[in-house]
Chains A and B, each alone.
Chain A
Amino acid sequence: MGRSSLGRGSALQYATLVLPGMLIFGIGVIVPMGLSLCYSFTSWNGFTHDLPRSGLANYGHILTDSHVRDAWWFTIRFAFWNTIVQNVFALLFAVALDGNLKGTKIYRTIFFMPCLVSSIVVGFIWLRMYSDVLPAISTTLGLGLNPRLFGSAGTVLSGFLIANNWQWIGYWMLIYLAALQSVPMELYEAARVDGASRARQFFRITIPMLAPAFTICIVGITIGSLKVYDLLVSSTGGGPGRASTSIIYLIYDTAISGRQYGYGSALSMTLILALLAIAVVQLSVLRRREIQL
């Protein structure tokens, strides 16, 4: 009796705690997703009161739309290179700053500061860097370089990778740093006693012990990069042409500016599915790796 009463009380307590979050999540995420799914079966332009049904036509169009293919290609390349570069450099910086270097705290602060700046502002900063500051430096030093990376379809991706990595490496570095500092020193001491070199210690102890941090960083960077939007808005506007149009940018452009709300909704549904699939695959692979290690 008493246990049952306690169970009911606990359930009520849990429900009370969970309900606000559930409500916010439901109203802010689930309901819009449901509406988006409904709109995706229409050819609604976002203006009219009637919602002309179009069945699966929008989904069929996605398969043949070259702009969708190009936007995904840009987004995937952006996510791929970000994931590699950010993880490698964040880990290297974390290892470097985990030691007894002089001025470690200052370096950490400097590396971390860019991630406090809004991506919109980062876009402006790098637009100015590429269009004004770096060309002026190049001219002054007589380097003969054209650092206007945002001005050409061939270099715009590199420009964004530099800007995005500049912003976020410090953030992921802190995650790795925290993970590094939680590795028990006894493991290193035992390895040293066994005569393991620094490199062997790094690959046999440090890397395996960082597996949970790898999971967080890889999934976080990948998903974050796949959702890139604000950085593009304030710098290139998806250009030149459509050379830096990400999938989210295309969705906004199609649904809002392009007055194809139904088609834009269908695009957003496919993005949700893709993000889910990528996250599930990454998590299952990385978690399995964590267990193995």
Chain B
Amino acid sequence: MKRSVAFAAGVALAMALALPGAFAQGLTTVKILDGQSTTDAGIEKLIDQAVAAKYPDIKLEWEIVGWGDAFQPKMQQYMQSGLPDIMIGKGQDVATYAGLGVLADLSGKPYLKNVLPAAVASGSYKGKPYGVVFNALYQGVYYNRKFFKDNNIAVPKTQAELQKVIDRCKSLGVTPFATHFKDLWSIGNITMQFAINDVFNKTPDWGDQLRAGKASYAGSPEMKASYGYNKLIYDNTWKDETFSLEQTACDARMVQGKAAMKVSGSWSIQNFLDVNPDFDFGIFPFPNQSGNAKLIYEPNITLMVSKTTKNMSAVDKVLSVITGDKTLDQKIYDLTKTASMVKGAGPTFKNPSQKDIDAYVAKNQLVDAGSGNNQLVWGGFQDENAKDIAAWLQGQETIDQALQAADARKASSKP
């Protein structure tokens, strides 16, 4: 009796193990490593639904990590054991991983025609497309438009004008800048924003010159000024709280009128509109030394394919859905509150800063964040520099020590 029960249980177990495999035959699993920004949470569900509707024989297996802290470690791990079929990172990752020879050359892929030429250009390395940029973020100073209007404050273009705005805010009892320096990436991001307009704008190959010994952080007045802007902001924010404050709380304060400006990127829009869908805000580039600062555009969600994928046909189908399904694309843009890089698809949400963006685009006052990020890598260089800046702001180092520390680690700066 016992034997027959054991036999029956064994058969049942074997069937349970074997049957799903049998049913799974013909189903292709595409593995995706998704390095998400805070704005991207939830896009995987939308993509899953769209791919399942068009290609029921393709199953997407997602691994979602935070781009800032876990994408690079995951890539490092997978480069030893085999990359997933698709990696979703940022535009700057293309230079890093194509340079290491692990990304597939996407030349000739039909889905490249679905996106804007800039989306292909931003995903290219040494003239070949290794990534497809799906959306873009804009970076600069977000400001409370109603506050500016009510108090007759004009958008500043120079440092002197910015100082006047700061003084005016203070006289009105409003904190000039909203900041959340608890998030190290925020310090790194704004420093790169400053450097793009003050350093890379003037010397486009500054990163290469740094590594060649022709330029240095400590010897560059422009880079020192870029570091110095952090102090300007720190002196005009909620100093006692910024190193304890996270982005969500900071953005909420901005909407509540507790601060007038925030050096940030499109990732704040989601929070702004969540707190108050009617919040009226605009954007302008952080004024540089020469008064010709440009608004920064950053290629964000960037689709990359493993060079060694065994599922290239399925991968092509997935990428064609992501870039070609206009309904899906619009849903993603509305969810992430970001700008489109896909032809014929765009967000439908009300973005109060869009008219400012359009004005800068019309005047050709736009610069790609890749001009700096593609020369100075984030992990191990920009993030370490940000730590030095934080230590300087906290009085643990001098600005010169922070600049010298950046020079000392220049060997780690190459993407």
Give A residues with C-beta under 8 Å from B: 46-48, 127, 130-132, 135, 146, 148, 150-153, 236-243, 256-261
Chain B positions 361 through 404: 1 when the CB is less than 8 Å from some CB of chain A, otherwise 0: 00000000000000000011001100110111011110000000
Residues of B with C-beta under 8 A to A259: 72, 76, 379-380, 412
B182:A257 contact, CB within 8 angstroms: no
Among B72, B245, B391, which residue has its beta carbon within 8 angstroms of that of A243? B391
C-alpha gap A242/B243 in the complex (Å): 12
B72:A256 contact, CB within 8 angstroms: yes
Among B75, B181, B249, which residue has its beta carbon within 8 angstroms of that of A240? B181
A241:B394 contact, CB within 8 angstroms: yes
Residues of A with C-beta under 8 A to B412: 258-260
B73:A257 contact, CB within 8 angstroms: yes
Residues of A with C-beta under 8 A to B244: 127, 130-131, 148, 150-151
Q: Taking the complex as formed, is B241 at the interface, i.e. its CB lies under 8 A from any CB of chain A? A: yes
Kindly provide the distance from the CB of A256 to the nearest chain B CB, expressed in whole angstroms: 4
C-alpha gap A241/B390 in the complex (Å): 5
Apart from the given pairs A47-B100, A151-B182, 10 other A-B contacts in the complex at a CB distance below 8 Å: A46-B79, A47-B76, A127-B244, A152-B243, A152-B394, A238-B387, A240-B181, A241-B396, A242-B391, A259-B76
Kindly provide the distance from the CB of A147 to the nearest chain B CB, expressed in whole angstroms: 9
A148:B391 contact, CB within 8 angstroms: no
The 3 closest A-B pairs by CB, nearest first: A241-B391, A151-B244, A258-B380
Residues of B with C-beta under 8 A to A135: 241
A153:B72 contact, CB within 8 angstroms: no
Q: Which residue of B lies closest to A233 (CB)?
A: B69
C-alpha gap A261/B72 in the complex (Å): 13
Give B residues with C-beta under 8 Å from A: 69, 72-73, 75-76, 79, 100, 181-182, 184, 240-246, 249, 379-380, 383-384, 387-388, 390-392, 394-397, 412
Among B240, B383, B396, B397, which residue has its beta carbon within 8 angstroms of that of A151? B240
Kindly provide the distance from the CB of B188 to the nearest chain A CB, expressed in whole angstroms: 12
Kindly provide the distance from the CB of A46 to the nearest chain B CB, expressed in whole angstroms: 5
B387:A242 contact, CB within 8 angstroms: yes
A-B contact list, 24 entries, CB within 8 Å: A46-B79, A47-B75, A47-B100, A48-B100, A131-B244, A148-B240, A148-B241, A150-B244, A151-B182, A151-B241, A153-B395, A153-B396, A237-B69, A237-B184, A240-B182, A240-B390, A241-B387, A241-B388, A243-B396, A256-B72, A258-B384, A259-B380, A260-B380, A260-B412
B79:A47 contact, CB within 8 angstroms: yes
A240:B72 contact, CB within 8 angstroms: no
C-alpha gap A277/B318 in the complex (Å): 55
Kindly provide the distance from the CB of A36 to the nearest chain B CB, expressed in whole angstroms: 14
Interface centre among A150, A236, A239 (most CB of B within 10 A): A239
C-alpha gap A205/B384 in the complex (Å): 54
C-alpha gap A156/B35 in the complex (Å): 30
Kindly provide the distance from the CB of B366 to the nearest chain A CB, expressed in whole angstroms: 30
C-alpha gap A257/B66 in the complex (Å): 13
Q: Which residue of A lies closest to B240 (CB)?
A: A146
SS class of chain A's interface: helix, strand, loop or mixed? loop
SS class of chain B's interface: helix, strand, loop or mixed? helix
Residues of A with C-beta under 8 A to B79: 46-47
C-alpha gap A150/B76 in the complex (Å): 31
Among B181, B245, B383, which residue has its beta carbon within 8 angstroms of that of A257? B383
C-alpha gap A151/B234 in the complex (Å): 13
Residues of B with C-beta under 8 A to A48: 100
C-alpha gap A47/B78 in the complex (Å): 9
Q: Which residue of A lies closest to B73 (CB)?
A: A256
B379:A240 contact, CB within 8 angstroms: no
C-alpha gap A236/B181 in the complex (Å): 11
Residues of A with C-beta under 8 A to B181: 240
B72:A239 contact, CB within 8 angstroms: no
C-alpha gap A237/B181 in the complex (Å): 12
Q: Which residue of A lies closest to B97 (CB)?
A: A47
Q: Using A46-B76, A151-B243 as known contacts, say yes or no to A257 and B387 having CB atoms under 8 A apart.
A: no
Residues of A with C-beta under 8 A to B396: 153, 241, 243
Residues of B with C-beta under 8 A to A239: 182, 184, 243, 387, 390
Residues of B with C-beta under 8 A to A130: 244
C-alpha gap A261/B79 in the complex (Å): 14
C-alpha gap A256/B73 in the complex (Å): 6
B184:A257 contact, CB within 8 angstroms: no
C-alpha gap A70/B47 in the complex (Å): 46
Residues of A with C-beta under 8 A to B184: 237, 239
Residues of A with C-beta under 8 A to B241: 131, 135, 148, 151
Residues of B with C-beta under 8 A to A243: 391, 394, 396
C-alpha gap A261/B275 in the complex (Å): 43
C-alpha gap A135/B383 in the complex (Å): 29
C-alpha gap A151/B241 in the complex (Å): 7
C-alpha gap A260/B379 in the complex (Å): 11
C-alpha gap A153/B181 in the complex (Å): 13
C-alpha gap A46/B379 in the complex (Å): 13
Kindly provide the distance from the CB of B102 to the nearest chain A CB, expressed in whole angstroms: 9
Q: Which residue of A lies closest to B395 (CB)?
A: A153
Kindly provide the distance from the CB of A152 to the nearest chain B CB, expressed in whole angstroms: 7
A257:B243 contact, CB within 8 angstroms: no
Q: Which residue of B lies closest to A241 (CB)?
A: B391
Q: Which residue of A lies closest to B245 (CB)?
A: A131
C-alpha gap A257/B387 in the complex (Å): 13
B380:A153 contact, CB within 8 angstroms: no
Residues of A with C-beta under 8 A to B388: 241
Interface centre among B76, B242, B243, B244 (most CB of A within 10 A): B244
Q: Which residue of B lies closest to A159 (CB)?
A: B244
Q: Which residue of A lies closest to B76 (CB)?
A: A46
Residues of A with C-beta under 8 A to B243: 148, 150-152, 239-240
C-alpha gap A151/B383 in the complex (Å): 18
C-alpha gap A258/B377 in the complex (Å): 10
